[in-house]
Structure 1
Amino acid sequence: MVDDWWGRPIRSILPRLFLDHFHRTSLVAEDGGGLAGFLIGFLSPSMPDTAYIHFVGVAPRLRGHGLARRLYHRFFDLAAADQRTEVKAITSPQNRGSIAFHTAMGFTVTGPVADYDGPAVDRVVFRLRLPGVSPGV
């Protein structure tokens, strides 16, 4: 569905391994029309204070109705329950909608960071401190 939702080939950045290995922290929303949206996220195994949102999608018919915001808040709750103090994500510098959304959600925005994902693959980096979670010892 993601290729149809974005109107271009994008499925390659959502390999099955994310669904197989991070289903406990990934979210799916459905409505009467089927799949409404999803959030693929995980609790970093290397950074014990960090959770990461890899990919979020909302069906075009439901965009602008707060579903992505609700998915993010549910993920924040999952991360906080595991004592994570920060959520991170990235996007391409051309994705103005994502940058605006993350800014509105309270993320700090850094970048574009040159060569973040390899030579000539710049990314904008998002970070959000979770309120009410004490940093780990």
Structure 2
Amino acid sequence: MKIRNIQDDDFLRISTNLNTWWGGRDMVDMLPSLFIHHFKDTSFIIEEKGATIGFVIGFISPSHPQQAYIHFVGVNPRIRQKSVGRRLYEHFFQTVKNQGCKEVSCVTSPVNTTSINFHTKMGFSMKDGDMSTNGIPIHQNYDGMGQDRVVFNRLL
């Protein structure tokens, strides 16, 4: 497996896989090309035998330069449980730490239990929300009306 910085020409390959990798959920609008175009230095793709098997899109906050944010991560479901996501995150953590970041944050949907479990295993803690469901703190309307999120934070 090889990790490299993401490039503009990776966008179509990634975007055509999004909905499939998310089990049919409509995810394409969550990752416009601007994230790839503007955050190449802190966004990565992982390949095996020339095929894209995962990616992470993240950046250092311009407003809070000691904080990094992971906007989107994807791993081919046929490759899961092989530490692809872990390798991508560890690469991202080291990259942003080398640039002075002390913490990383991200969000996920409360229905995405796979993501919640992954982030917890990766050492993220869930920030208190304004409600709780099944012990998961939820931030209601975090990304707009009806767009609830679980908010994570991890110190580096």
Alpha-carbon distance in 1 for matches of 2:75, 2:50: 12
Question: Which amino acid counterpart does residue 38 of structure 1 have in structure 2?
Answer: F
**Matched residue, 1:74:** 91
CA deviation profile, 1:7-49 (whole Å, cap 9, x unmatched): 3221110100000000110000111261110000001111111
1:1-137 to structure 2, matched below 5 A, reads: 1-8=17-24, 9-32=26-49, 34-110=51-127, 111-130=137-156
Once residues 13 and 39 of structure 1 are traced to their aligned partners in structure 2, the CA distance between those partners, rounded to angstroms, is 13
Offset of 1:113 from its aligned partner?
Answer: 0.7
CA distance in 1, matches of 2:146, 2:20: 27
Listed as ranges, the gaps of 5+ residues in structure 1 are 131-137
Taking structure 1 as the reference length, what is the TM-score of the superposition?
0.91
Q: Kindly report structure 1 stretches of 4+ aligned residues shifted beyond 4 Å.
A: none
Give the distance between the partners of 1:57 and 1:38, measured in 2 at CA.
Answer: 5
Q: Secondary structure of the residue that 1:65 maps to in structure 2? A: coil
TM-score (norm 2): 0.80
Q: Show structure 2 runs of 5+ residues with no match.
A: 1-16, 128-136
Amino acid at match of 1:44: S
The CA distance in 2 between the partners of 1:50 and 1:44, in whole Å, is: 6
Size of the aligned set, in residue pairs, is: 130
Q: Which amino acid aligns with 1:129?
A: L
Distance 2:121 2:90 in 1: 13
- The code of the aligned residue for 2:138 comes to P
Provide the secondary structure at the position in 2 that maps to 1:88: strand
| C-alpha separation in 2, matches of 1:78 and 1:5 | 26
RMSD: 1.0
